[in-house]
Amino acid sequence: MNQMYKFLLTVLWLYISTSESAELYASSCNDDTKTDNTTQLSRNIDALLHGLVQGAAQKGFLTASYGNGVNQIYGLAQCRADVSGSDCSVCLRDAANQSRKLCPNQADVRIWYDYCFLKYDTAKFFGQVDTSYGVFFWNVANVTDPDVFNKKLSTLVDQIKSEAVKLPGSRGLGKGETEISAFETLYALVQCTRDLSPINCAQCLSVAIGNFGTYCNDKKGCRVLYGSCYVRYELYPFFFPLDAQGSLAYNAAKYESVKVYKP
Ligand SMILES: *[C@@H]1O[C@H](CO)[C@@H](O)[C@H](O)[C@H]1NC(C)=O
Ligand SMILES: *[C@@H]1O[C@H](CO)[C@@H](O)[C@H](O)[C@H]1NC(C)=O
Ligand SMILES: *[C@@H]1O[C@H](CO)[C@@H](O)[C@H](O)[C@H]1NC(C)=O
């Protein structure tokens, strides 16, 4: 594996719950947050988060800033574009609350949930591709026929990527499915943050998909989470509209994950 990569955390996940919505995937905090007044920074973060949580649910996306000078804080809140407004609202509220617990006096914070993503920083980051922190989840089970699977996966992912980059109309979302065999269907979804230009969305997704060989090789399911995009595929339906079989299959799947920081 690439020497440049610094491994922060490895966890083994066993999913036993059907409730995916409130699921926290990962978070990152920067311990070197620059501020001349922690109290003021903290107030600005709270005010920013309040505004983001209130404002983002309806459209599923919002960028905002609060405060001024060294303690000015910039934030982005976004839900997966297939998620309902009410699920989005619940997810962002959880994300805001959790971020303040996990990163109490810090900026440069990212927090990933299944349905939503939240980021805030003292630097203005809107429109920039962020692939510095990556979180990778893979199903430990291998596919039975890697040749057929990888060909179908690659075609499907290319297709939904080309949909997602048609921002702003696409809302950064591409999703689709393809039959692997008479018994198996492959589902995939890609999502860029909606502050990105089409070319930056394409760049983030290319980096994410470029990790398939390292983290997702021949795996039955995989997720790549970055500050600017999200890519996931599974052999069960996981995006909306979801059918009843989805949660059954989901319960049986076992995942491993790693969080990687590439400065
Ligand atoms: C820090 O900010 C708080 C809240 O605005 C303010 O009450 C306090 O006086 C500030 N402290 C300094 C040292 O500027
Ligand atoms: C945190 O949760 C409480 C109660 O669930 C809620 O009232 C509050 O608005 C949340 N905080 C943020 C920043 O959303
Ligand atoms: C999947 O394949 C890899 C590489 O061939 C192997 O190391 C691993 O044990 C397999 N996993 C399972 C669950 O069979």
All structural domains of the chain, each given as residue ranges with its CATH number in brackets, are 20-121 (3.30.430.20), 133-261 (3.30.430.20)
- DSSP, collapsed to helix, strand or coil, labels residue 186 as strand
Residue 262: predicted pLDDT:
80
Closest ligand by atom to 69 CA: 1
Q: Is 235 in the pocket of ligand 2 (CB under 6 A)?
A: no
Q: What is the pLDDT of residues 191-233, one digit of tens each?
A: 999 999 999 999 999 999 999 999 999 999 999 999 999 999 9
Closest ligand by atom to 90 CA: 2
Residue 179: predicted pLDDT:
96
Side-chain half-sphere CA neighbours of 25 within 13 A: 29
Give 231's strand partners. Answer: 190, 224
Which residue CA neighbors atom 1 of ligand 3 most closely? 142
Q: What is the pLDDT of residues 120-162, one digit of tens each?
A: 999 999 999 999 999 999 999 999 999 999 999 999 999 999 9
Please tell me the distance between residue 124's alpha carbon and the centre of ligand 2 in angstroms: 25
| Cα 60 to Cα 57: distance, rounded to the nearest angstrom | 5
- Within 6 Å (CB) of ligand 1, which residues are found? 37, 39-40, 43
Residue 249: predicted pLDDT:
61
Give 120's strand partners. Answer: 75, 109
Residue 1: predicted pLDDT:
36
